[in-house]
Amino acid sequence: MTDDIQSSRAKPVRRRFVQLVDALDRAKARYAICGAVALGAHGAERYTRDIDVLVDEADLERVVAELRSSMVVIGREPATGSPKQVRLRSKHAKSPRAVDIDLMVPVDAVEAWALATSVRARAFDRKADIASPEALVVMKLRAYLSDPEFPGSAKHRVDAYTLLTTAAVDLPALRRFVRSSPDLAAELEKLLAAPPPRGRLG
């Protein structure tokens, strides 16, 4: 089920990604792909079973409408009123392990920054608007700090470290953004000072 982001072969996540980008383009939406697909687009090898994308609130319903011909809404938050998150799954999915799409409206300064600073990059051999590496680092560090004791949280910190060591990160811009959040700023500096993992070349 999982795909190599850098691969051009037509696997499940790649097919869903192309479908999503086509829908975003038809809707003329303002968006930023984030999550594991964005990591891969910035050269941080990663595998994924779903696709996360920030979408401007004004464009969300148009994007959902574009995807409805082949996908069904399986989650909507909040349940009533203007949604902040919509999860879609293929109408032909045979199991809950299908490749889902999560459309998310920015709800705070970090997500608004990620949408505002998106960059054009290539994933699955397709150009798309991708969250900048700086925004992804902040999103990953924030996810880690929200519950650092949770066993799954460590992957977020590893993702942030991988971006810092493999992607072209604008450190001054990143430091400027996190300086108003002491916890984020401190965690960033810890990662920057961390020695490279054993066995790493260079």
Residue 114 lies in a domain: yes
Structural domain harbouring 138: 133-195
Q: Is the pLDDT of residue 197 over 70?
A: no
Span 48-54, average pLDDT = 90
In the chain, % of residues over pLDDT 90: 73
Bridge partners, 104 (sequence order)? 54, 85
Residues 124 and 137 in one domain: no
Q: What is the DSSP letter of 195?
A: P
CA of residue 53 relative to chain centroid, distance: 6
Pair of tokens at residue 69: 């011909």
Strands (E), the chain: 3-4, 31-34, 47-48, 50-55, 71-77, 85-90, 100-104, 119-123, 126-130
Indicate the SS3 state at residue 48.
strand
136-191 confidence digits (pLDDT tens): 999 999 999 999 999 889 999 999 999 999 999 999 999 999 999 999 999 999 99
Predicted local distance difference test score (pLDDT) of residue 202 = 38
Q: Is the pLDDT of residue 6 over 80?
A: no
Locate all alpha helices (DSSP H) within 8-108, ordered by sequence. 12-26, 35-41, 60-67
Residues 123 and 156 in one domain: no
The pLDDT-based confidence of 198 (bands split at 50, 70, 90) is low
Predicted local distance difference test score (pLDDT) of residue 171 = 96
Residue type at position 31: Y
Q: How many domains does the chain have?
A: 2
Residues 41 and 113 in one domain: yes
Q: Is the pLDDT of residue 66 over 70?
A: yes
Contact 118, 130 (CB under 8 A): yes
Residue 201 lies in a domain: no
Residue 180 lies in a domain: yes
Residue 25 lies in a domain: yes
Q: Is the pLDDT of residue 88 over 50?
A: yes
Q: How far apart are CA 170 and CA 174, in angstroms?
A: 6
Domain final residue pick, 110, 131, 152: 131
Predicted local distance difference test score (pLDDT) of residue 151 = 84
Residues 15 and 106 in one domain: yes
Domain final residue pick, 111, 131, 151: 131
Q: How far apart are CA 186 and CA 102, in angstroms?
A: 30
Strand 100-104 and strand 50-55: pairing?
A: parallel
Span 74-103, average pLDDT = 89
Q: Is the pLDDT of residue 26 over 50?
A: yes
Q: Is the pLDDT of residue 10 over 50?
A: no
Residues 19 and 67 in one domain: yes
Predicted local distance difference test score (pLDDT) of residue 112 = 97
Residues 79 and 163 in one domain: no
Residue 202 lies in a domain: no
Predicted local distance difference test score (pLDDT) of residue 5 = 46
Predicted local distance difference test score (pLDDT) of residue 8 = 45
Residue 200 lies in a domain: no
Residues 152 and 181 in one domain: yes
Pair of tokens at residue 184: 């984020």
Residues 123 and 184 in one domain: no
Predicted local distance difference test score (pLDDT) of residue 86 = 96
Residues 114 and 171 in one domain: no
In the chain, % of residues over pLDDT 70: 91
CA of residue 87 relative to chain centroid, distance: 14
Burial class (CB in 10 A: 0-12, 13-18, 19+), 80: exposed
Predicted local distance difference test score (pLDDT) of residue 11 = 63
Span 63-74, average pLDDT = 94
Q: Is the pLDDT of residue 24 over 60?
A: yes
Which residues are within 8 A (CB) of 194 and not within 5 positions of it... i.e. 6 or more apart? 161
Q: What is the CATH number of the domain that holds 87?
A: 3.30.460.10
Domain final residue pick, 99, 131, 163: 131
